[in-house]
Structures are given as C-alpha cells and as structure tokens.
Amino acid sequence: MPDRSLDSLSSAFLPLALTWIARCVERGVSVMIIQTSRTPVEHQANLVNGTSGTTLSLHLLRRLLLSQFATELAMDSGLSDPDKADAMDLAPWDIYQAHGPDKINWNSKSREFGIIATECEKLGLRSGVRWTKPFDPGHGELVLPVKERLLVEERSRPWPTFNV
C-alpha cells in the first residue's frame, strides 16, 4: 500500500502540501492523497509500468537521492530531513472512488485535475501537468536546485486543455 502520510514530507515541502490541499478544497475539489514517499522497489515498479518517467523521483527519501545529486541537495535548507520526501500525488476524491488507484483509468483531463494542477503551480511547486511522459496533473514537488532548469523549460510549454 502506498505511503499517504503527510508526516513523510520534508519540513520544506509540508507547509506547501497542506496549503495545496486546502486551496483545492476551497475551490470545491475534495482530494485523495495518492502517495507521498515511496520505496526504491515501489519506484522501480512505477518506472516499469510507465507511471513515473524519472530515476530522480522526489517521492524517494532524500537520503536515497544523496548519491545521485549530493551537491544540489546540500544546498537545500531542508536537508535536515534525510528520511523525508519532497513530492505528493493528489487525485480528485470522486475520480479515485469511481476508478480506484489505477491511474490508467482516471480522466486526467477532468476539470478537477485542472484545479489541482493550477493550485500546485500557484504555490511555485513543480507540477506534472507540464510533463508529456507521463502526463501527471496530480503530481506536485518542491523545486530543488537540481530541478530548476527543468522547471523553466516545462513552464514554457502551453497549459493543457481540461474538460470543463
């Protein structure tokens, strides 16, 4: 079962995650936390099934990423949280209840996912709404220095069309 605990999020990301959830609810979208942290085994399964497109997932605990980009993480003020993650996946409650945990069955172009992605970006988080493989509008993550260049390129892409 995936980790959905807010306690698994870094001290730098947690306040943003809570605000993100609150803003979605304020706009009428009840959300389900799909995942916060993940194990290397869970992440490998996501790479194989195509629901993740990066080996540097911020769902992994910071200490697991240190060997891959130690310098960039060392520059982050939240490094005091080595056993915490910097990403969270949300889904609209109604879509999750109707289709379960399999993202393949979700309507990721729904109005609700559009609101989730909009509120994510308003907080300055990196959103999976700008990704093409996989398109992941329910994903949000802290922008660590190693990901800043990606953010600039991703935000230059057009905003996707959502069903209204």
More confident residue, 51 or 108: 108
Alpha-carbon distance 22 to 131, whole Å? Answer: 24
CA angle 28, 7, 100 (to 5 degrees): 50
Q: Side chain identity at 45, as an amino acid letter?
A: A
User: Considering only CA atoms, which of 50, 164, 37, 152 is closest in space to residue 113?
Assistant: 164
Q: pLDDT, tens digit, for every residue of 130-146?
A: 998 889 999 999 998 87
What's the pLDDT at 8? 97
- The model's pTM is 0.90
Select the CATH number that applies to the domain covering 6-155 from these four: 3.40.50.300, 3.30.930.10, 3.40.50.1240, 3.30.1380.10.
3.30.1380.10
Contact residues for 89 (Cβ-Cβ < 8 A; gap 6+):
33, 34, 35, 59, 136, 138, 139, 140
**Percent of the chain residues past pLDDT 90, beyond the cut:** 67
Q: pLDDT, tens digit, for every residue of 83-99?
A: 999 999 999 999 999 99
Is the confidence at residue 15, as pLDDT, over 70? yes
Give me the residue spans of the domains in the chain: 6-155
Q: pLDDT, tens digit, for every residue of 42-78?
A: 999 988 988 888 888 999 998 887 666 554 555 454 4
Q: pLDDT, tens digit, for every residue of 20-41?
A: 999 999 999 999 999 999 999 9
Is the confidence at residue 101, as pLDDT, over 60? yes
Average pLDDT value over all residues in the chain: 89
Alpha-carbon distance 49 to 97, whole Å? Answer: 22
